[in-house]
Amino acid sequence: MLKTILSISGKPGLYKLVSRGKNVLIVESLIDKKRTPAYGKEKIVSLGDIAMYTDADDVPLREILASMKKKENGAAVALDIKKASPEELRAYMAAVLPNFDRDRVHVSDIKKLISWYNLLMANGLTDFEEPADTEEVAEDKAE
């Protein structure tokens, strides 16, 4: 599910991939449901490709979102990111991902993560589990 949800640099919010053209993607804003073209010159990143720094390995965004969903019991995050202090945001992040890298994960990253989570929850996109991996299935067949 996260593979079709996109972040476009310079544009607010998140976008759902609707269609692909030759040199363009048609995306729909999760905020106002308007469809717009997204061109190759824009920095477009799928949420499925994003990971967060930790003290050991990078953790995929889907695992962090699933952890947030578990912590919030399937509801939106009640913390107001505009009024919260940096310490409150870091404390929230530590509750969700205890070993996040405090040097490389900035407060702005935490704010963006919370706003993305709330936007996904508001749009009913709550399935953060990884789909069955086709590579693992192919390996099982080979054995």
- The whole-angstrom separation of Cα 36 and Cα 53 is 32
pLDDT at 127: 78
Backbone φ/ψ region at 117: left (φ over 0), alpha (ψ -120 to 50), beta: alpha
Q: How confident is the model at residue 142 (pLDDT cuts 50, 70, 90)?
A: very low
What is the mean predicted confidence (pLDDT) over 53-63?
Answer: 91
Q: Is the model's pLDDT at 135 over the cut of 70?
A: no
The backbone region for 5, taken as left when phi is positive above 0, alpha when psi lies in -120 to 50, beta otherwise, is beta
- Give pLDDT, residue 27: 94
**pTM of the entire predicted model:** 0.83
| Predicted local confidence at residue 130, as pLDDT | 64
Structure confidence by residue, pLDDT tens digits, 10-50: 888 999 999 998 889 999 999 999 999 998 888 999 999 99
- Which residue has better confidence, 2 or 28? 28
User: Could you report the per-residue pLDDT of 94-120, keeping only the tens digit for each?
Assistant: 999 999 998 999 999 999 999 999 999
8 Å CB contact between 34 and 21: no
Q: How far apart are CA 17 and CA 113, in angstroms?
A: 19
The 10 Å Cβ neighbour count of residue 2 is: 21
Name all domains of the chain by residue range, CATH numbers in brackets.
2-47 (2.30.30.730), 50-122 (1.10.10.1650)
